[in-house]
Structure 1
Amino acid sequence: MNSIEAEKKKLWRYMPLISLLGFLQTRELRFSRADKFEDTQEGYVGLEALLSTVPPELHEKAKQALHRQNLECFVSCWHLSSSESLAMWKIYGANAFSVAVVSNVGKVISACHDYCADLSAAGMFGEVVYDNYVSDGTLNVQALGLPFGYKELPISKSILTLFMKAKAFSYEQEWRVVLNEKSVSEPAIRVPIGDIEEFVEHVYVSPEAPDWMVSSIGSLVRDQFGLSRISVSKSPLAKHFGI
């Protein structure tokens, strides 16, 4: 697959309606600091894999780097798929007041690249690995994109562990961007996305939502926020719920 085809891959963010309204208002992506994730093993699942690729005398240094990176790295998580997922609706859109925002790899990368170019920040993006963390003595992260950012700042090898998760999470089919910004102490950072009508390809409303809610959300997007080019419709999976 060439880079143009890769950039056109669909990305999905399942979220409560209130999060959509905040996104439309700020026109920014929220990146959570890695140590603030609900999964307490975030960034640590790949520790053993990381240590297996460095000399024993560097193990303690690698462990320290891993702990430090979770205080300096900020993550935006997406579902990578050509179509919507019923499982993701059930987990991340747990009620009728939920939506899924669709964009693509190229648009998310572009927004992050612009952000890093304006600041002393750097980042990396790609698919999460759920098993076989080490291949031929190196970390198995072939799906990752090249580092990007301010003057192509060097990225610590330990950051690759933020692209490793337990196999139990493989249903997420996660694609993520990790930004490394040492000067920030806040629990999250926000990345402007530019033209939101270009960034958002579609907004799907929960398959369990009543029709009046779908219509109301469409009116909000179109009239309240003035975003007439963003299509809003009910999830095609609604037929599985008999609604």
Structure 2
Amino acid sequence: MQEMTHQHTRELDIYYNEHRKACTNCGKQFQDGMTAHLGYLADKTPAVLCDDCSQLLSETVVRYYWMKPKYEEVLPTAKLWRYMDLSKFISLIGKKKLYFPSLESFEDIFEGAKGIAERKEKWDNFYLDFFKQAIQTAPGMNPKDLTDQYIEENAVRLLSEMETGGKFERKNTFVSCWHCDQYESEAMWKLYSTNVKNALAIQTTCQQLYEALGKDPSIQIGKVQYIDFTKRFSAVNGAYWYKRKSFEYEQEVRAVVKVQKANSSGIEKDIDIEKLIAAIYISPYAPKWFEDVVYDVVKKYGLNKPIFHSEMAATPFY
């Protein structure tokens, strides 16, 4: 088997992210447990190949143990909304940076949670048994060393390390949250602005967000899953893709990035504002003067984007 060169480039990582679902030669769909071979063909064209086609690579950069993403993918054309105050809008278009707060800084204490405390014993018992089995079947272990005490102590240690890892993950995982809907949301207007009369929303698509972030291969974009924590747990890895059912109205899509030892409650990522913003919507509760201010701000920063007064401000007849 050809040795891996590990000569990663940003462009190659982007290529893998965009073509990771199937072999780029024969079209075979990858499944959990399969091997994906990333590298270059003889003409230096990048490729992601299955085992049957891997011999076509002239350079194998890396092999991945293929696994389905922990998140539900979003259609590229799906509409995304971000509701904000004018000050945050000015900061966004002025600095051209998108703010990612850490999970630990969110008001929802269940961000990154595996489950509820009253069910922790069930979680612990399952993974203690899992670790005990893994220790006993680990290759290279001397059966004489596998005493009951050795197995128990190491299983407890692994469980403790997993819990510590979960706490660190809350510190080192940073998230940008978006509302996914074909239409604007009255609830989002009121929830995500300190003064709904002085609020606006930017509308984009998943593809635009991805491209505006420079197709950064370190950032994952996916849907949040809403679960009943009284009946199930989230996940050992990727718990930040799960929230409680009571938040289901948010219809959240999030962009997620991990930064080890960030020691910060938030980070900023460069963003291409022109690519990001498809349209700007003014709060249905905004007075005329606020609309004028928004137009002036957009003009000052040279944004050539359509501005709409919220459709919710339309006048009915009876």
Q: TM-score, normalised by structure 2?
A: 0.60
Question: In structure 1, what is the Cα distance between the partners aligned to 2:293 and 2:242?
Answer: 39
The answer on 1:236 being equivalent to 2:311 is yes
Where 2:196 maps in the other structure, the secondary structure is coil
Q: CA deviation at 1:111?
A: 3.9
Q: Per-residue deviation at 1:52? A: 8.1
> d(CA) in 2 for partners of 1:241 and 1:26?
40
Distance change >3 Å, CA 5–CA 70, structure 1 → 2: closer
**Residue 46 and residue 106 in structure 1: after superposition, are their counterparts in 2 closer, same or farther (change >3 A)?**
farther
Matched residue, 2:127: 55
2:238 to 128, 137, 160: 160
Listed as ranges, the gaps of 5+ residues in structure 1 are: 117-121, 140-156
Q: Does 1:109 find its partner at 2:181?
A: no
- Give me the whole-angstrom Cα distance separating, in 2, the residues matched to 1:171 and 1:107: 23
2:175 paired with 1:75: yes
Deviations 1:188-217 (A, max 9, x none): 1111112x1221001111100112321221
Contact 2:101 2:266 in 1 (8 A): yes
Greater CA radius of gyration, 1 or 2?
Answer: 2
1:129/1:163 contact within 8 Å kept: yes
- The structure-2 alpha-carbon separation of the partners of 1:113 and 1:180, relative to structure 1 and needing over 3 Å to count, comes to farther
Say which is worse superposed, 176-185 or 80-89, in terms of deviation.
Answer: 176-185
Rounded Cα–Cα distance in structure 1 between residues aligned with 2:269 and 2:74: 24
Alpha-carbon spacing, 1:210–1:44, altered in 2? closer, same or farther (3 Å): same
* Cα-to-partner distance string for 1:152-198 (whole Å, 9 max, x where unaligned): xxxxx64411011111111111110110111422221111112x122
Distance verdict in 2 for CA 1:190–1:226, change over 3 Å? same
TM-fit CA distance, 1:42:
1.2
Structure 2 counterpart SS, 1:204: strand
Matches within 5 A, 1:8-23: 8-23=77-92
Q: 1:52 to 1:235 in 2, by over 3 A?
A: farther
Structure with the bigger RCO (C-alpha within 8 Å, sep 6+) is: 1
- Give yes or no for contact 1:9–1:105 (8 Å, CA) kept in 2: yes
1 CA distance for matches of 2:126 and 2:96? 41
In the superposition, relative to structure 1, how do residues 206 and 163 fare at CA in structure 2: closer, same or farther (>3 Å)? same
Query: For the residues of structure 2 that align with 1:180 and 1:12, how far apart are their CA atoms?
Result: 23
Aligned residues: 214
- C-alpha distance 65-132 of structure 1, shift in aligned 2 (>3 A): same
CA RMSD between the two structures: 3.1
Amino acid paired to 1:173: Q
Segments of 5+ residues of structure 2 without an aligned counterpart are: 1-20, 22-72, 129-154
Distance 1:101-1:54 versus aligned 2 partners, 3 A rule = farther
Aligned to 1:98: 199
Tell me what 1:174 maps to. Answer: 252
Question: Normalised by the size of structure 1, how large is the TM-score?
Answer: 0.77
